[in-house]
Structure 1
Amino acid sequence: MDLPEAARGRAPVIAGAALGVVALAETVARTGVGVNLPVGVLLALCATVPLAFTGRHPLAAAVTVTGTTLLSVPFYWSPLFTGVVALTAAWYLVVRRRLARVRAEAAERDASRRAIESTLLEYTARGERARIARELHDVVAHHISMISVQAETARLAVPGMPPEGAKHLLAIGDTARTALTEMRRLLGVLREDAGGEPTRRPQPTLEQLLELIDETRESGGVTARLILRGRTAPLDPGVELTAYRIVQEALTNARRHAPGAAVDVELHYDDDVLHLRVRDNGPGPPPNGSEGDDARHGGAHAGGPGVGHGLLGMRERAATVGGKLRTGPAPGHGFLVEATLPAKAGDDR
C-alpha cells in the first residue's frame, strides 16, 4: 500500500535516526573485539544517520553510507549490520527516485509529442478546408450567377409583366449579385489564411477521369483502369469535384507508396448515391499499424491544384458534401479507399 506523501517524506528521517541508535548499540556491543570506541561511534553514525537526508540529497547520502560502511570493515573485521541495512535502503531510494524521474520525463515527452501532433493535424485540416472552399466557390458561384442572369432575363424578356413581379425579379438579381460579392470577399480571406493565390482554371469533373487515369499510366508509376457500374446519372457539381479529387489523391498515394502496382478505380452509380472505390495491389499499410500511422495520412502530393493532404484531405472532402469515406488494408493485400457520396451535396444518406 502506498504511503501518503508526508509519511514518505518522514520515513527516511525516522529510519536514519532509528538505525543510528541501533548502530550505537551495535558499536558498544562490539568494543570487546578491540575497537576504539570513539572511532566506532563516529563510523556507526556516519554509516546510518545520512539515510535521513536521502529525501533531498539521495545520491550524496548513499555515497556517504557506502563509503563509511566500507571503512568500518578494517575496524570490525566485517561491516556493521546497521551500515549494510542503511546502505541497501539508501541505494533503493536512489534507484526508485531515478526510475520515477525517468517515467515523469517520458510522460512529459509523450504529452508534448501528442500536443505537437494535434496542432499539426489542426493546421493541416484548416489549410485543407480552405483549399476545398476555394474549389467549391467556383461551383457555387456558377449557380448563383445563373440565378442572377435568369432573373434579369425574365424581367426584361417577359412582356406585360406586372410591376410587382418585375420588382421581385430585380430583387432576386440584386440578392444573387450581393451573395457573389460576399463569397468573393470570403474567398479572399481564405486565400490569405492558406497562403498563395491559386491558379484560376475550370474545376474538373468525372468526365475527366479517363484523362487522369491516362496521365497516371503515362507517368509509369502504376497501372490503372476505370470500371463503371450501374446507370450513369448527373451529379451535383460539388460531388463530382469531390469524387475526382478523391480519385486523384488515391492515385497519387498509390504512385508514391506502391510503385508498379495495379490500381482499379470503380464508380458504381446506385440510385441517388455514388459508390467510389480505389484499390491497389501494393504492399498495403505496415503490419499492426493504424491507418492514421500510415505514411499516406499526411504530406502534400503533386498532381495538380487542390490536391490535399493524404487521407485527411479525402475525409474532409467527403464530409463537405455529406458523404463518408473509409480507408485501410484491402482484402488479401494492398490498400483500399472507399467513399459513399450523395448525388446532391449535403444529403445525408
Structure 2
Amino acid sequence: MVDVSEEIKRVAKRIADSPDRQAAVGAVLALLACGETAVRGGSIDTDLPFALTLAISTTTPVGLLRMPLATAATVCLTAAGVVSLVSFHVLTVAGLVAQLLALRWLAGRGSRRLAVLLVLPYVATALVGPQINGIRVYGVVTAVLAAAAVADGTGRRARAEEVARDATERAMADTLHEHVARGERARIARELHDVVAHHISMISVQAETARLTTPGMPEAGAKRLLDIGDTARAALTEMRRLLGVLREDAGTPPVTRRPQPGLTQLNELLDEAREATGAATRLIVSGPVATLDPGIELTTYRIVQEALTNARRHAPGAAVDVELRYYPEVLEVRIRDNGPGPAPGTGGRSPGHGLLGMRERVAAVGGELRAGPAPGGGFLVEARLPLPVPGDVR
C-alpha cells in the first residue's frame, strides 16, 4: 500500500528541485486565486471574467522571479495588487502570497531600495485609502506583511553575503599561507643547492684528489678517503632527490640545468641593475685576476646580487660601485651606494633577511662581512673571502 504522505513529499521535492518550480508556484497561485474569486462571486465590485483576469494578473508574474524580468514582474505584481485592492476592493489570499514572495525575492536578490519603495503604496492605502469594505484594514495587514517580507529577504541576503565573505577570507588566508609555505620550501631548496650541495661535492672531489695525489699514503688511509668520497657522493644523490621533492612540493616548474653563476656573470648582473633603475652602476677590479673556487665565485655573485637588490629597495636611483680587490690570500668585495644611508640611530638596514643571508653565505666559506653606513654617506657592504693557497688540499 502506497504511503500518501511520502508520495506527497516526493512530489513536492521534485517540484522544488525542478528548474521550472517558480513557474509552477505561479500557476498554482493563479489557480487558487481564480478559485477564491469564483467562490466570492457576487461580493466582487466587477464582473466575474474581469475579476478572474485581475486574479491572474496578481499571481502569475511570480513565476518570472528566476528570470531576467524578475524586477519588472515584482513591480507589475505590486501595481496589480494595489489596483485590485483600491479600485475593485479585492485582493485574494493567493495574490497576497504572490506579492510577499516577490518582495522577499527582490529584497534578497535584487534591489533592496526598490523593494522598500514597493511597500509604500500599501502604506498609503492603509493611511488614505477608501473607508469602504475594510480597504484600509487590508492595506494595514498587507503593508505589515510586505515590510516583514522585505526584512526577511534583506536578512537572508545579509547572512548569505557574510557567509560568502567569510568563505572568501578563509580561502585567501589559506592561499596566502600555502604561498608562503611554498616560497619557504623553494628558498630552502635554493639554499641547499647553492651552498650545501656545493660543499658536499667539494668534499667528494677533494677526498678523491687527496687519495690520488698524496704519495706514500697507507692503504688504510686511501681506503678511508675512498669511503669519504663514496659517502659524499651518496649524500649528494640523496640531497638531489630531496631537492626534487622540495621543488615539486613548492610548485616550481622543472628548470633547465645550468652552471651556478660566478664572476663571469657579474657584468650581466650589473647590466640588469642599470636597466631596472636607470642609475649608474660600475664594476671596479683591482689586483691580478685569478680563477677562484666555484664556491667563492658563487658567494661573491650572491653578495653583489643581494647588495644591488637592497640598494634598489632602500636607495632607489642611487649610483652603485661594485669593487673586487684580488689579493694572494683574500678577495675583497665592496658594494657602495651614494644614497641617504640608514636612518640615524638604526645603524643598518633591518627590513628583510638580505643582510643575514649574506652573513651566512660569507661565514660558510670562512669569510667576514661588514655592512653599515659608508664614510661620507651612503651604505657599504664589504666582504673578505679567503682564497685557498696554491697546492693546499682541504
TM-score (norm 2): 0.43
Higher normalized contact order (CA 8 Å, seq sep 6+, divided by chain length): 1
